[in-house]
Structure 1
Amino acid sequence: MPHLVILYSRNLEHDVDMTAVCDGLAEAMLTVKDDDGKAVFPTGGVRVLAFPAPHFAAADGGTAGRLAGESGEYGFVYLNLRMGRGRSEAIQQRAGETIALVAKTLFSPLLEKRRVGLTFQIDVGPEVFDAKFGNLHPLFQKVM
Structure 2
Amino acid sequence: MPHLVILYTPDLDRPLDQGGSDMTALCRALADTMLAARDEAGSAVFPPGGVRVLAYPAAHSAVADGRGDYGFVYLNLRMGRGRSAAVHAAVGQALEATAKNHFAPLLATRPIGVTLQIDEGPEVFDAKNSSLHPLFRKP
Do both share a fold (TM > 0.5)? yes
Pair 1:22 & 2:38 matched: no
| Partner residue, 2:48 | 43
Cα distance in structure 2, aligned partners of 1:133 and 1:92 = 26
Higher Cα radius of gyration? 1
The alpha-carbon deviation at position 54 of structure 1 amounts to 2.1
Q: Aligned Cα RMSD in Å?
A: 0.8
1:59 and 1:7 map into 2 onto residues whose CA distance is 16
C-alpha displacement at 1:36, in angstroms? 1.2
Letter in structure 1 aligned against 2:12:
L
Count matched residues. Answer: 134
* 11-20 vs 109-118, which moves further: 109-118
Unaligned runs of 5+ in 2: 15-19
- For residues 20 and 90 of structure 1, what CA distance do their matches in structure 2 show? 27
Query: What is the one-letter code of the residue matched to 1:109?
Result: P
Cα distance in 2, alignment partners of residues 113 and 55 from structure 1? 23
Find the residue that maps to 1:77 and give its secondary structure.
strand
TM-score (norm. length: structure 1):
0.90
Which runs of structure 1 show a deviation greater than 2 angstroms over 4 or more consecutive aligned residues?
none
Residues in 2 aligned to 1:116 and 1:84: alpha-carbon distance in whole angstroms: 30
Give the superposition deviation at 1:11: 1.1
Question: 1:123 pairs with 112, 119, 123, which one?
Answer: 119
What residue number does 1:110 align with?
106
From 79, 83, 96, give the equivalent of 1:83: 79
Supply the distance in 1 between the matched residues of 2:106 and 2:63 (Cα, whole angstroms).
Answer: 16
Please state if 1:137 is matched with 2:137: no
- Show the counterpart of 2:92: 96
Matches within 5 A, 1:57-76: 57-62=62-67, 72-76=68-72
Gaps of 5+ in 1: 63-71
| Counterpart secondary structure, 2:75 | strand
Counterpart of 2:122, as a letter, is P
What TM-score, normalized by structure 2, do the two folds share?
0.94
Identity among equivalent pairs (%)? 61
